[in-house]
Amino acid sequence: MHFPETFLNLSDERFVVHYQVLAANASEARTRTQGICLEQTVELPEALLGQDDLREKIIGRVEKLDEIAPGQYQAAISYAIETTAFEFTQFLNVIFGNTAMQTGIRVLRLDMPDSLLKEFPGPRFGQAGLRWLVGVDSRPLLCTALKPMGLSAEDLATLAQQIALGGVDIIKEDHGLTDQPFARFSDRVARCAEAIRRANSQTEYHCLYVPNITAPADQFFERAYEAKRRGAGGVMIAPGLVGWDAIRLLATDDACALPIFSHPAWLGTFVIDSDHGLSHQVVFGQLPRLAGADATIFVNYGGRFPFSQQDCRSIVFGATSALGSYPPIFPVPAGGMTLDRLRDMYHVYGSQVIFLIAGGLYAYGPDLAANARQFRRQVEALK
C-alpha cells in the first residue's frame, strides 16, 4: 500500500546523535546506519515511503559515516527536533529506543541545538550554585553517604550529626534508604535534618543534607516537598529506577528548587559493554545535566567497580563541557573510595569535583567525627 503523501511545516532545526556502529565492511555499515534512521523514527522499510517529507524530514539523516578502526564505524545521524515532541521521554526514545535491542550499536555523544536545549530546564544550581550553598569557594567538596539500611532513624541522625560536626560539606543518603518500616522517610528526614542543623549551628559550616527521594511514581514529589519542608539542602534521585523525566520535572519545579543529585543505580547495564548501549559520557554526563541534575554520582576507577579512568574523564567532559547556556554540574566519583586515594583523584579530577567517600570514611577510625575531620583536613591540604 502507499502512505498518503505528507508535507510538513517543520523548522530546519535538528539534533545529532553520534553512534558507534560495528559492521563487517562499509556497505554493511551504511545499511546498519540507515536502519537506525528508520528504526528510530518511522519504523518502516524505506521502500514503503514516498518522495515526501516522511522521507526528507522525519527519518533520521546520516550526516557523516567514518570507519575509525577495522569493523568499527562512527555515524552522525541528525533528527528533526519536532520528532521529540519536546518531551524528554520521547527525546530518549528517538536517540536509542528500539535500537537498544540491536547488538553492536552504541550512542557516543549528543549534539543539541539551543532550540532543543531550551525545551529542557537544565541545572538550576550547577557547580557555582552548589558551592554557594555550602560556602566553599574553590577546593573540592566533601561528601559522604548516610547508611546502612536497617539502622533506625534515630541512629542515622546520630551518625549524620557526627559527620556534620567533622566538617563534611554534603551528607547524602544511601539510595537504598527509602521508606522501610525500620526508618520511615518522614521520621528519618526530620531527625537527620534537625541533627545536621544543630551541628551546623555549632560549627558554622553549611553542611547540606541530601535525602534520597527515589520513590514510587505517586510519592516522589511528596517526598521532595517533605524533604524541603524538613530542611533538606538537596535531594537525590536514581533516574534508572524512577525514569529520567522525574529529574526533569523536579528541576522545573519552583516550589522544590533544591539541588538535585543523580544516582547511578540500575544504569550500569547501559554502559558496561563498550560495543553496545550508551557511553559513560552520555549516561552519567550528558543525560543528568540535560535532565537538570546539579551533580552526577558515578563509580570511580580503581574502586570496587570496573569503570576506567578514561570512562570517568569522559563523564566529567559530559558534565562540564560547553552545552548551550547550561552551567557545568559536579562530577561525584564514588564507590569504594578511601582517604588515601584523595591525592590521586585530585590529580585526575582537579578541584571541580565532589569527593564521595562512605564506607572508607566509616572504616577509617573508631570516631566518626574525627574521621570526617581527617577527610576535611586532607582535602584542604590538596594542591
Regarding 54 and contact with a second copy (CB under 8 A), the answer is yes
Regarding 246 and contact with a second copy (CB under 8 A), the answer is yes
Shortest approach of a second copy to residue 322 CB, angstroms? 27
Residues 6+ apart with CB under 8 A from 381: none
Regarding 78 and contact with a second copy (CB under 8 A), the answer is no
Q: Which residue matches cell numbers 536502519?
A: 35
Regarding 77 and contact with a second copy (CB under 8 A), the answer is no
Interface size with a second copy, residues (CB under 8 A): 98
C-alpha cell at 82: 519536532
Q: Which of 109, 172, 248, 341 binds a second copy (CB under 8 A)?
A: 248
Q: 105 or 136, CB closer to a second copy?
A: 105
Separation CA 39–CA 59 (nearest Å) = 9
Contact 274, 310 (CB under 8 A): no
Regarding 18 and contact with a second copy (CB under 8 A), the answer is no
Regarding 270 and contact with a second copy (CB under 8 A), the answer is yes
Regarding 295 and contact with a second copy (CB under 8 A), the answer is no
Of 69-77, 130-138, 148-156, 375-383, which part binds a second copy (CB under 8 A)?
Answer: 148-156
Separation CA 68–CA 16 (nearest Å) = 18
- Among positions 97-136, residues that touch a second copy (CB under 8 A) are 97-103
Please give the single-letter amino acid code of residue 339.
L
Residue 60 CA neighbour count, 13 Å, CB half: 30
Shortest approach of a second copy to residue 278 CB, angstroms? 8
Regarding 161 and contact with a second copy (CB under 8 A), the answer is no
Regarding 255 and contact with a second copy (CB under 8 A), the answer is no
Nearest to 313, CA basis, from 268, 278, 281, 265: 281
Residue 262 CA neighbour count, 13 Å, CB half: 35
Q: 113 or 148, CB closer to a second copy?
A: 148
Separation CA 367–CA 23 (nearest Å) = 57
Separation CA 78–CA 116 (nearest Å) = 13
Regarding 45 and contact with a second copy (CB under 8 A), the answer is yes
Shortest approach of a second copy to residue 341 CB, angstroms? 15
Separation CA 161–CA 228 (nearest Å) = 19
Regarding 377 and contact with a second copy (CB under 8 A), the answer is no
Over the window 305 to 344, marking each residue x when it contacts a second copy by CB under 8 A and - when it does not, the resulting string is xxx---------------------------x---------
| Pairing of the two strands 208-210 and 260-262 | unpaired
Q: Which of 176, 231, 324, 327 binds a second copy (CB under 8 A)?
A: 176
Regarding 264 and contact with a second copy (CB under 8 A), the answer is yes
Regarding 74 and contact with a second copy (CB under 8 A), the answer is no
Residues 6+ apart with CB under 8 A from 124: 251, 257, 259, 260, 292, 294
